[in-house]
Chains A and B, each alone.
Chain A
């Protein structure tokens, strides 16, 4: 394994009570990769994503994140080194777009200091303009909400960005636009992305590697797609 490895799973298993969800999962991710986890619903891809940020507790095997065993991390400290994007952005409805964007920055010590500058810098990257900053999520379109969600996840310069079906609720055109945008961000920021999607075209378009799962196991791994 190279020194660049930032996520390493060794024989990881997970079950909800009696029901086994993941079995003998071993894989690693290097810095800068864009991994897509694909597979049918119920195959365990979202569970695997939540094991990476510790939202679900590991039951069997070893997980190492950023060269440190999962058990040695203060979980909230680990999560602050990551970005997290959910369906439709999962924006906080009582906060303005700007406050949502700053959320991760504010959690980090000293992060709030330059937040305005940082947000202004990132706005063009997600194709948003300043006019939406004071708006509340319920007045934004689905695409705008997801852009805010993406900006929130990258504003604090995370080592890893986790995305769980981020575009599944959007129309085809918006979806396409956002895929281009995310690919762009990945290339510019050189951050590691792990994204769950059930859409194999999307996975091929975005990822540097696809991990295809089936019934709680890694079925196949596909490497190095020609960039478009």
Chain B
């Protein structure tokens, strides 16, 4: 079982999940109840609070995480704000509905006997609205625990990270373990809130039996213990610690491995602590802003992406991005430093089964163009959409495939195995290339831009910890395309833990340097 093999990793994710979802739940409960009370007592507030929380609820959650990045950045804060905004609707609604459903003759009786407004709220309205508030809390709890699964997209961690990691590395047991973890936590949390139904109202009304009181107090203590343990385990404020380096990665197996290599190298060779913000959804789009505002200290980027997406520069005619140029521009514009190149180029390429390559004696793109009428070509949707991909490729090499097939990026290899296509686009370091015995063809006219990998770090952090730069420079030119492809293969196909793969790589590197 993957959970037991990687129990530390899952314990970390579980702790993060509990911290995020229950932290958000605590805030949602307090804010939601207060807003619900306000809505109940003030007809003016009803006109805008309810439409507002309704509106917030309708924004797709993934979009909400993204929308908040420019305001609060990535990570825990962003996740908690989004979850709180989402959870408000059931809490506000159930609180105000619960209060308005309290029988008017009962309220009149209390008022007529001399209870003050506060006493009426405390002794009558609140206990009688409690069942409705608790059912709202149950809905909110399940919703927030499930929604926390998406927090991994913005680097906040949680069990969702296992799901995304599994999806991005084609690791089904990982997806199952992450999903089951979320579901189990949601079910347990639902049961936990359920314990308070019928019992809490008795405790609040001071007429609970000893057993009822005990159950309520034990369950409250249980939550407190679990929450404190999760907090202690994750140490959410650790990233604010002065001696901490935050390493980020995009959501691909390659990036998980490279992120681990950087993290472990720092941990092994310095006394600095590392916080891993791996698998950030949206990749460069979200990591680059986080780098410029200091939420992330370093990550691995590719020259083509940095040149075109971040610097928004046009490609030179030979499609090769000059490293010294990109380094200079990053430093001047963003105060970020490219520390050098790792040694591999993860660019687009075309791949066909080795058997066909031998049959037709195909080595490069031009060879393939000559026999292209014998090939069925498959690629992901954006490959056909981007002007610098399929369209230009056909123009440059004159491909004339017998048919073309658009599909999800992760399904290309499956389609190849099933024989639906026999030529696909690929990334040069894809682990599946090794697994499926594919022939990677040479881009003999240099059509695709180069995507050479390199570590980018904040200059501020390099200055504060001068030991970092020489240390990380040790990785320069040490990861060849072949090495990277093999490491990807070990993670994607052999389902090894990226941490183990990274550890072995570093051990191997150390031996070489002796």
Contacts and interface: CB of A to CB of B under 8 A. Distances in A.
A187 to B, nearest CB: 23
B115 A90 contact: no
A95 B114 contact: no
A93 B106 contact: yes
Q: Which applies to chain B's interface (DSSP): helix, strand, loop or mixed?
A: helix
B111 A55 contact: yes
Interface residues of B, number: 22
Contact of B108 (A86, A93, A94): A86
Interface stretch (A18-26, A61-69, A73-81, A204-212): A73-81
B127 A94 contact: yes
Contact of A76 (B114, B202, B206): B114
A54 B22 CA distance: 46
A96 B201 CA distance: 12
Contacts of B201: 94
A77 B124 contact: no
B113 A55 contact: no
Contacts of A107: 113-115, 119
Nearest to A134: B207
B357 to A, nearest CB: 79
A99 B207 CA distance: 8
A190 to B, nearest CB: 21
Given A99-B206, A107-B119, A92 B106 contact: yes
Nearest to B131: A94
Given A94-B127, A94-B201, A95-B207, A103 B108 contact: no
Contact of B205 (A55, A79, A94, A104): A94
A79 B112 CA distance: 6
Contacts of B128: 93-94
A158 to B, nearest CB: 9
A108 B131 CA distance: 29
Given A94-B127, A94-B128, A99-B207, A86 B109 contact: yes
Nearest to B116: A76
Interface string A170-182: 0000000000000
Q: Which applies to chain A's interface (DSSP): helix, strand, loop or mixed?
A: mixed
Nearest to B106: A90
B114 A80 contact: yes
A84 B111 CA distance: 9
Interface string A186-223: 00000000000000000000000000000000000000
Contacts of A95: 205, 207
Given A76-B114, A76-B116, A107-B114, A90 B207 contact: no
B109 A83 contact: no
A80 B113 contact: yes
A80 B119 CA distance: 13
A162 B108 CA distance: 13
Contacts of B116: 76
Interface in A43-59: 53, 55
Interface in B246-284: none
B134 to A, nearest CB: 13
Interface residues of A, number: 28
Interface string B196-214: 0000011001110000000
A87 interface: yes
Nearest to B111: A55
B501 interface: no
A79 B109 contact: no
Contacts of B339: none
B210 to A, nearest CB: 14
Contact of B112 (A55, A91, A92): A55
A162 to B, nearest CB: 7
B105 A90 contact: yes
A103 B120 CA distance: 11
Contacts of A83: 113
A87 B114 CA distance: 18
A103 B112 contact: no
A5 B110 CA distance: 26
A106 B105 CA distance: 20
Interface string B79-112: 0000000000000000000000001011011111
B105 A92 contact: no
Contacts of B103: 90
- Name the residue in B103, B110, B119, B127 with the highest tally of chain A Cβ atoms < 10 Å from its Cβ: B110
Nearest to A98: B207
B126 to A, nearest CB: 10
A162 B106 CA distance: 15
B108 A55 contact: yes
B111 A79 contact: yes
A90 B109 CA distance: 7
A53 to B, nearest CB: 5
A107 B124 CA distance: 13
Nearest to B119: A107
Nearest to A85: B109
A65 B108 CA distance: 20
Given A94-B127, A94-B128, A99 B112 contact: no
A55 B110 CA distance: 11
- Name the residue in B105, B110, B112, B201 with the highest tally of chain A Cβ atoms < 10 Å from its Cβ: B112
Contacts of A82: 112-114
Contact of A92 (B111, B114, B124): B124
Contacts of B119: 107
B110 A92 contact: yes
B99 to A, nearest CB: 14
Nearest to B104: A90
Given A99-B206, A99-B207, A76 B115 contact: yes
Given A93-B128, A99-B205, A79 B108 contact: no
Contacts of A80: 113-114
Contacts of A90: 103, 105-106, 108-109
B106 A84 contact: no
7 contacts: A55-B108, A82-B113, A82-B114, A84-B112, A90-B105, A103-B110, A104-B113
Interface of A: 53, 55, 76-84, 86-87, 90-96, 99, 103-104, 107-108, 152-153, 162
* A-B pairs with lowest CB-CB distance, top 7: A80-B114, A79-B114, A84-B112, A90-B109, A90-B105, A76-B114, A94-B205
Given A81-B114, A94-B128, 19 more contacts: A53-B112, A55-B108, A76-B115, A79-B113, A82-B114, A83-B113, A84-B113, A86-B112, A91-B109, A92-B106, A92-B110, A92-B123, A94-B201, A94-B207, A95-B207, A103-B110, A104-B113, A152-B113, A162-B112
